[in-house]
Structure 1
Amino acid sequence: MAEAVAAGRAASRGVPGRSASGRSRHARILAALVALSALVYAASSLLRLRAFQASTYDLVIFDQALRSYSRFGAPVAMVKGVHNGFGPDFSVLGDHFSPILAVLAPLYWLHDGPETLLVAQAVLFALAAVPVWRYAARRFGPVSAHLVAGAYALSWPIAEALAFDFHEVAFVPLLSALLVERYDAGRRVQAALAAAGLLMVKEDMGLLLVGFGFFLLARRGERRAGAAYAAAGIAATWASSRVLISLFGGDNDYYWAYGSLGDGMADAAVRVLTHPWILPGAVGSPPVKLLTMALLVVPLLLLPLRSPLALAALPLLAERMLADRFPNWWEPGYHYNAFIVAILVMAAVDGAYRLRGRRPPAALTRLRPVAALRRSRPVAALRRMRPWRALRRHLPAAALLAGAVVTVPFFAFGDLADPGLYRPDGRDRAAGAAVAAVPDGALVETANNLGPALSARTRVLLWDREPRGAPWVVADIGRHTFPFTTLEEQRHRVARLINEGYRPVFRQAGYIVLTRESAAPR
């Protein structure tokens, strides 16, 4: 982790009033935090991969695309194109405009397989702690900044993103934190470069720039820059989603999820302007949307609500919460909340900084139990103690870290305490044997959780409801799997394959490997 050490040293420079030895010490602590986070993140993802908890949708999609990039081709993901009806030569740039993925292609020259993506994502997520630390250090000092960086590292959106394979979101916490931190440091050109990088991550990242523009518009003397960021974000979002997606063979309306607002962008805009009262209903239905939004700010002690920086996250959040399709968008699970987690952690820091020195509300201090506690001898003695005065400076950051720690058992990091993640059970062993029964180089339709184990040495398609005619099929009739709706449907699918001339060559613990070597792919 030499990069982490260098990043930590760079991060500690420029903190006012710190000696060279102090900067070096804090650099080592930060580097250790980044390295440990990357190690835990990577171990968590790789353990899930080994336990067949990763999925063809979406890990194999990205694995196939990066393998194509590494061979100097277009980022073709056959598994995505065939399953969604775009054809086997479909480029993922027609699904999401994410050209930044190409920077990971050289890593496939070192190791050609989905493990590469999982490790790269772990490192990218961990490195975002550096700009978060720098931002916090300017406000509360380096010690508190370590606690804030720890709160980011343990945040539940990062845990859930790691638990769901690899996605382009891997780049967003780092780039979004750099955008905020570099602008805060007065490095406007570097901030603009981070913004440009964000636009290469996904077609809707322009909305994050729009939100950042709203934040700048709320600051005195920054309105021209704010208008520029908002305008650039709107233009980039339109160009990516309405021009570039179709240019690469995709459907511009594939992810339109706002039928309750209108049949298209223009129709929805007119309806929202003329009937603005429909927005609260869309945001609150179904109620799980409210739960997700609460989970984003409650562990951060509601502090982001005190900072105008939270405006930067608002358009991306609204994009998901106003939707009435794709339930994954608004649930706490999956990776979508990781797009805004670094922004919200930094907004919490800013919110705490704005509250420093404020007296508690008078209504609260007049309550008899509170007033009695404030006048008690232990509290008075505590206030006079020098260690308490020193510790008091770190309370906001410590509270943020505590909020993150409390969430750990309830989200994906809590799975690391499950012994089953480290010891393969009977189905895991059967899955390994089923995968081993498929020859190298074969075209294979595979159950969702087995594709990642085959992607490096075979051509993987998703086993779904449609017959694809692949010579090999690895089916699962022991547990419900995407995209089938019931286990009975999976069994009928296997029976249909056998009727079509496939013969089983492996059966164990619900897994069935079937082959028809003479079959030609459709």
Structure 2
Amino acid sequence: MAEAFTVGERRAARSGRTPRIPRRRPALVALVVATAAVYTVYALLRLRTFRTTTYDLVIFDQAVRSYSRLGAPVAPVKGVHNGFGPGFSILGDHFSPLLAVLAPLYRLHDGPATLLAAQAVLFALAVVPVFRFAARRVGERAAYAVAAAYALSWPVAEALTFDFHEVAFVPPLSALMIERWDAGRRGQAVLAAAALLLAKEDMGLLVAGFGLVLLTRRGERRAGALFAACGLAATWAASQVLIAEFGGDNRYYWAYGGLGDDLPGVARHAVTRPWDLVLALGAPPEKLATMALLVLPFLLLPLLSPLTLAVVPLLAERMLADRFENWWAPHYHYNAFLVAVLALAAADGAARLRDRAGPRWNGRAVFGGILVVTCALVPVFGFKKLAEPSLYVRDARGAAAARAVAHVPDGVEVEAANHLGPALTGRTRVLLWDQVPRGAEWVAADVGAHEFPFVSVERQRDRVRLLRDAGYREVYRDGGFVILHGDAAARKRMAPWKEIPTHFAFSDR
């Protein structure tokens, strides 16, 4: 990467023409394939070593399996644990019908590994539009650095480290929407935006954010207004109407009680006490740290680009919240919704900085710096697990977990501890083992390490004692795992437990 531009690209940039991007790029193909391979291996190793979880991986596995059988996306894990019932459709939790496109893959392999591999490939495919957009802005050589920075980015690493979610579709679709518009393929950009609206109920905020970007450009303001209006309307319809239609609670994720009880209340608060919204963005300070981490690996270049406006509505949705602490944490999958757009904004910001700097521009320093900072963060976030031997060979606890789940027969209903469910969901009907006895025939419990949603290992042991007192029989116990079987009488004795016993403290996410 000795130069950020080739000579021809420099001439094209000065003349206002779009630099020609060759169609055959073996290096780009190699980057995408290598990225997909690393992501897939990492995700599948996590599954094999019992690092994935029932809540959320099994939820999506059950939903996509239901789609593959031409049914509604029912997820008993979500419905039973959260009090909606065993027939609950996940469209009543998050409006994400785009998940249905993964259903045919379950004809090839019916299990959560399919979702993990699909997500890995989708994340890797975002490299292509990121590269193409960046190549038009800063040249091919620099574009490889931007694409590699996306591929190694900590938001992607954290998303892969937290199983599977709807975010799988967002980096490729959001990058494609912007890249196709930039290439003059407006119809393709609109199709990508429409697909994005089906990925999750709040993706209309990202589409509306892109509308804000277009509003800053002469000749594109009408299109910008349409993107903004359609995005906001889609988010309102999905979150306020469709989720309720599918049996959900459209206030379940309302997290802005300090600003108002509803959107009109927040709007009034914003007009009368706007400083409260500013203060909310920094309370707690972890929000500021997360926002800084989103742009620092790109050397703050996104702040020079109007494209960053595209992520502002979606970022504000999380950072203004006063509930759901995982929304503003740097961990989990939420930041992966933004990272591809920020990579594009970094390329655009670099081009703007180059034009201002003139002869002082040093592309090698800028794009090399992006790679250096990105790589420096790799050992801090999810990909640091790649250096752990226990990721490749099951440790004693992982081996004990494998032996434990082998004692659960096929085709039964089982209450499974959070880290055991993914190993069982392909051959049993899984419910999350939580504080409420569900009366399942089989229970796969963990009394050796803390498991969601319990607040302590002691509560987990209490739960096992409760089952034994009701007549459940221990079939297996080793390495902190307990497999129990209940006959009809034992399951009947569990039936009265409709509410959480008072001596079980409750924790939820």
2:131 to 127, 130, 133: 133
Q: Which residue of 1 aligns with 2:464?
A: 494
Residues 403-431 of structure 1, C-alpha deviation per residue, up to 9 Å, x if partnerless?
21111110111110111111211111110
Q: Which residue of 2 aligns with 1:101?
A: 99
CA distance in 1, matches of 2:316, 2:455: 29
CA deviation after TM superposition for structure 1 residue 148, in Å: 1.1
Q: Is the 8 A contact 1:292 1:332 kept in 2?
A: yes
CA deviation after TM superposition for structure 1 residue 397, in Å: 2.7
Q: Is the 8 A contact 1:148 1:398 kept in 2?
A: no
Larger mean Cα displacement after TM superposition, 485-494 or 304-313: 485-494
Q: Which residue of 2 aligns with 1:466?
A: 436
Q: Which amino acid aligns with 2:39?
A: Y
Q: Which residue of 2 aligns with 1:509?
A: 479
Segments of structure 1 that go 5 or more residues without pairing to the other structure are: 1-13, 361-382, 384-388
CA distance in 1, matches of 2:233, 2:377: 38
* Number of corresponding residues: 476
CA deviation after TM superposition for structure 1 residue 53, in Å: 0.5
Q: Is the 8 A contact 2:418 2:452 kept in 1?
A: yes
Q: Which residue of 1 aligns with 2:19?
A: 16
CA deviation after TM superposition for structure 1 residue 267, in Å: 1.6
**1:157 aligned to 2:155?**
yes
Q: Is the 8 A contact 2:319 2:327 kept in 1?
A: yes
CA distance in 1, matches of 2:277, 2:247: 33
Q: Which residue of 2 aligns with 1:88?
A: 86
CA deviation after TM superposition for structure 1 residue 62, in Å: 0.3
Q: Which amino acid aligns with 1:298?
A: L
Larger mean Cα displacement after TM superposition, 309-318 or 500-509: 500-509
**1:172 aligned to 2:173?**
no
Q: Which amino acid aligns with 2:384?
A: G
User: What secondary structure does 1:358 align onto?
Assistant: helix
User: What secondary structure does 2:191 align onto?
Assistant: helix
User: What secondary structure does 2:250 align onto?
Assistant: coil
CA deviation after TM superposition for structure 1 residue 78, in Å: 0.7
**1:34 aligned to 2:32?**
yes
CA distance in 2, matches of 1:67, 1:15: 45
List aligned pairs for 1:289-300, cutoff 5 A.
289-300=287-298
List aligned pairs for 1:345-356, cutoff 5 A.
345-356=343-354
CA deviation after TM superposition for structure 1 residue 393, in Å: 4.0
Distance 1:23 1:15, change over 3 A: farther
Q: Which residue of 1 aligns with 2:266?
A: 268
User: What secondary structure does 2:274 align onto?
Assistant: coil
CA deviation after TM superposition for structure 1 residue 399, in Å: 2.4
| TM-score, length-scaled by structure 1 | 0.89
1:485 to 427, 449, 455: 455
CA distance in 1, matches of 2:89, 2:461: 32
Segments of structure 2 that go 5 or more residues without pairing to the other structure are: 1-16, 496-509
Q: Which residue of 2 aligns with 1:216?
A: 214
Q: Which amino acid aligns with 1:432?
A: A
**1:317 aligned to 2:307?**
no
CA distance in 2, matches of 1:346, 1:312: 11
Q: Is the 8 A contact 1:213 1:226 kept in 2?
A: yes
Larger mean Cα displacement after TM superposition, 120-129 or 285-294: 285-294
CA distance in 1, matches of 2:155, 2:68: 30
CA deviation after TM superposition for structure 1 residue 395, in Å: 3.8
User: What secondary structure does 1:506 align onto?
Assistant: strand
CA distance in 2, matches of 1:47, 1:399: 31
Q: Is the 8 A contact 1:441 1:457 kept in 2?
A: yes
User: What secondary structure does 2:356 align onto?
Assistant: coil
CA deviation after TM superposition for structure 1 residue 262, in Å: 1.1
Q: Which amino acid aligns with 2:444?
A: V
Larger mean Cα displacement after TM superposition, 158-167 or 404-413: 404-413
Residues 357-390 of structure 1, C-alpha deviation per residue, up to 9 Å, x if partnerless?
4349xxxxxxxxxxxxxxxxxxxxxx9xxxxx9x
Q: Is the 8 A contact 1:472 1:517 kept in 2?
A: no
Task: Give the root-mean-square deviation of aligned CA atoms.
Answer: 1.6
CA distance in 1, matches of 2:282, 2:365: 34
CA distance in 1, matches of 2:217, 2:273: 30
Q: Which amino acid aligns with 2:19?
A: P
List aligned pairs for 1:280-429, cutoff 5 A.
280-359=278-357, 392-429=362-399
CA deviation after TM superposition for structure 1 residue 144, in Å: 1.4
CA distance in 2, matches of 1:73, 1:488: 39
**1:195 aligned to 2:198?**
no
CA distance in 2, matches of 1:168, 1:513: 32
2:232 to 231, 234, 238: 234
User: What secondary structure does 2:476 align onto?
Assistant: strand
Q: Which residue of 2 aligns with 1:434?
A: 404
Q: Which amino acid aligns with 1:421?
A: L
User: What secondary structure does 2:176 align onto?
Assistant: helix
Q: Which amino acid aligns with 1:275?
A: R
CA deviation after TM superposition for structure 1 residue 15, in Å: 7.2
Q: Which amino acid aligns with 1:171?
A: F
1:475 to 445, 463, 472: 445
Q: Which amino acid aligns with 1:332?
A: P
Q: Which residue of 2 aligns with 1:364?
A: none
| TM-score, length-scaled by structure 2 | 0.91
List aligned pairs for 1:443-458, cutoff 5 A.
443-458=413-428
Q: Is the 8 A contact 2:311 2:338 kept in 1?
A: yes
CA deviation after TM superposition for structure 1 residue 169, in Å: 0.3
Q: Which amino acid aligns with 2:236?
A: W
CA distance in 2, matches of 1:517, 1:434: 19
